[in-house]
Structure 1
């Protein structure tokens, strides 16, 4: 049977920020979309066809295996606890079957007073303060927020982030405010792991961080307590582009062709994920190459979803500040 796609023509419920619950018991919310997002979903519905089959699968991978001709789009999947929700599926890359589970979007990086404030869900919305050395904990908990149709204009975390049992991670760098219909074609960098590493850490990023590499500052040692670095292959773009986008001063301190988890700085700050690179053991300040700070950091300059990619006193694309293309893009994460 074909998967149920756009059964109601509207996105399914997502858990709101701050709500917690075990897998299979995800909180509901009344999440609304603007007219543009609604139209994009309707266009995808027309493109795929308004199928009404009732067979529901557990992931985009399951859908692709059962229906090899499936196209990119929005599908309904079912959790182990019987909860149905909608996800965006990439059905092209490396055979397809990739489920979009999260996005990291920095909405106030150009605002010097916007460090770890509202919207910084992958670091802290509670401000920069020492008692907040775990930040909001969203890398490790069961919160959900945002929506797949606005994953390039706001942070997004699907129940699939912690529900799915996956093997590999795919990452896209996508310009901010890219509409849903153009996620695939507009992303300027696409790369993925190939060695099934997630199966070693509980099958998803929630388990990797919560059970193996929690994001907590002032707790772990530099550089010994940094997490694993996993090789990646590129589907679009090249590893050299990463070097061109990073702060120029950081280039000599990183190796390209990897994704690293929980990078620890010499100040004992913790940063969740370093896309496209691994930090050399001699790099004292991975805030200039990684995303997702632990909330409280040595300096407020490093606090935020994009940590220290824009450094105070350094112009965009110079010194310790990244180029504009990177600063004004969102980081999309998929499982398979």
Structure 2
């Protein structure tokens, strides 16, 4: 079994939005501290960014400044009624006049906050700019005074990683979602940790599928058994401090290729299969979903959401 059969790296995903809560404490000198729980969207954008207000981005990455636009936005979509189809013209600093047509495919509505004071039309639209066609998102945000028509449940308690992990779990190669140690991001990575934390909330109305995570011990064993990986990592370090004349991107690409083409040790395969059979006695007949989970991702300092693919339909020990 090769790692390339488990993980698929994708370069087409550059944006991801995740709805959730933002929690914090407001401190004002001389005032009592106040806790805040805010419904919010977490916006992830990565890679080469071409979104810049007041500019038009060409396919080659060149940004052209917009000098004039006849879109009458203040009078468009009044009374919480955004238009289905509309058009406008704009001029760029290269002297060209351009015409844009927008046609809505569908338009789901979202409401923010417990009192529904914010309303969003998330329109999926077809765009035609001087014959060049594309697809995009047009968001229309409104103040909403109608209130929430349904009873809103209270926020769930914030889930936390375990403070103490026993030595047996610290040295384990696999951990089930329902094991406390699996809620440690330092052992199973960000995504695996989140699945384990969500498993704690399992009820009749909220079910997390059974599963397990490979721990950092498996990665360390794999790394120690493949000298090429150590050599490639050393190259990246040398490139970073400019003692090796090679582009950093090339060194990183070579490291990725080395990881993907390296073979798993038999004991690693056996550990994975043993964990699968303990949870699913008929594991050989079940199609699994395999997902990446890395240390340091999806935390306060870094988010990697949307940058990896989940591989579906992985079936059988040799797959």
Aligning the two structures, in what range does the TM-score lie when normalised by the shorter sequence? under 0.3
More strand per residue: 1 or 2? 2
Q: Which has the larger radius of gyration?
A: 2
TM superposition score normalised by structure 1:
0.23
TM superposition score normalised by structure 2:
0.24
